Structure 1
């Protein structure tokens, strides 16, 4: 639907007349009529006034505008992720070629980054196989953005394990700043959850433990509701890993085992196995460092 059509749809469903709306936002009834018919444009300020008067959020407005579906961009994006986990690389390659042609036509940066993501998936997200210039292109884009929005958070999440550690850690501050600002917004919490915990996994993998503390602290503040049970369980696990790094090994293992018990109770066997492997790997690193210290 066009913007004017959406405004009319919202207004009529809220049982508000054109005159009532005009009076509320300081416009004339004929002007409202011309906006709804598509003959006049509307400023962002007046659109905000209309939505506030109708008790509708911007998220709802654009959702209605897109016929109660997510944007076609995000639909295609989510489809590619599903194809990757289904190991359908052939279909991803077809999408990559189509996206590249569209990018050449309109220069939409989303399409360029989507094309690079498809390339990375074709190469199984292996840093040794992915073209270095593509990762540099994504890195330069993210570092050039002083103010990140949702799109930049999604990009970081998709490419996090392909960045050199120092680059990923440098970007952490932008994530935490933006996530804090988005607390009151009805955003995609699943995406933020993936991003927080991907960064935690990344920080332990590359021994950036000072960043682990910072990210864990932010994650603890972000997921405090009773409904955030799964995230809180993962937080217990990462608290355990941090305890192990800080030489409270028994205490750390106890916390990790508590999280594992919850995963197994809920039937998340694959999640349990994955994080148990990460725990075992960390314990080996700690044991190796301790043995080196003793020799010295």
Structure 2
């Protein structure tokens, strides 16, 4: 739908007349009519005033504009991921070539990133097979953006485990900056918590314990709702892991085991097995470290 059509749809759904809308934002009724018919354009300031008067958020506005679907670009990312998990590499290769042609035509950076993602998936996300220049290009892009938006979260999510750990931890600063700035925006909490937990896992795996505590504090800040049961359980698990790192082993084990018991009781075998293995690896590593310190 065009912008004017969306405005008309929202206005009529809210039982607001053109005249009352015009009065509210300091315009004439004929001008509102011309906007809705597509004969006049509208400034971002006036669009903001209209949405505010109609009690509609920008997220809702663009969702309606896209015929009640997630934006096509995010759908493209999701479609590529679906193909990869379905092992349809032939279709991914075909899309990669089409995407590259479109990128050469219009220079849309999204298409370039999608092309690189297709390349990575063609090579089964194996860092030894992927063109290293492509990974550097993606890292350079993310590190060059001072203020991340939702798109940068999606990019980091898609490429996180392909970056060197040091680069990923450097990017965590931009992630936390985004989280702090957009903490009142609830629409991005799922991908945000997903990234924080993945970075937490990386930090413990690579002994970046200062980053671990910083990331855990951020995770606990943004997963406070009782309805975020999975996130709260995982936060407790990682809190226990960091307790173990800090030599509060008994306390840490209690928290980790409580989390594992929850996953087991819910019948979530995948998460129970995964995090049980992570705990066992950390305990073995801690045992080796303590033996060296005692010598």
> Normalising by structure 1, what TM-score?
0.96
CA–CA distance in structure 1, aligned partners of residues 284 and 91 of structure 2: 40
Worse overlay, 100-109 or 221-230: 100-109
Residue 172 of structure 1 is matched in structure 2 by 172
**1:191-217 deviation digits (Å, cap 9, x = unpaired):** 112111111111111111100000000
The residue matched to 1:216 in structure 2 has which SS?
helix
> Normalising by structure 2, what TM-score?
0.97
Gaps of 5+ in 2: none
Worse overlay, 42-51 or 159-168: 159-168
Cα RMSD between the aligned structures? Answer: 1.2
Residue 218 of structure 2 is matched in structure 1 by 218
Residue 92 of structure 1 is matched in structure 2 by 92
CA–CA distance in structure 1, aligned partners of residues 186 and 248 of structure 2: 38
- Aligned-pair CA distance for 1:185: 1.3
Gaps of 5+ in 1: none
Residue 35 of structure 1 is matched in structure 2 by 35
Does structure 2 conserve the Cα–Cα contact (< 8 Å) formed by 1:237 and 1:255? yes
Alignment of 1:261-276 (within 5 A): 261-276=261-276
Q: Which structure 1 residue ranges, 4+ long, deviate > 4 Å from structure 2?
A: none
CA–CA distance in structure 1, aligned partners of residues 204 and 128 of structure 2: 21
Matched, 1:258 2:292: no
Residue 16 of structure 2 is matched in structure 1 by 16
Does structure 2 conserve the Cα–Cα contact (< 8 Å) formed by 1:157 and 1:198? no
Residue 125 of structure 1 is matched in structure 2 by 125
The residue matched to 1:187 in structure 2 has which SS?
helix
**1:141-161 deviation digits (Å, cap 9, x = unpaired):** 111111111111111122111
Residue 81 of structure 2 is matched in structure 1 by 81
Worse overlay, 231-240 or 278-287: 278-287
**1:228-259 deviation digits (Å, cap 9, x = unpaired):** 11100000110111011111122212211110
CA–CA distance in structure 2, aligned partners of residues 243 and 252 of structure 1: 5
CA–CA distance in structure 1, aligned partners of residues 262 and 88 of structure 2: 33
Worse overlay, 142-151 or 97-106: 97-106
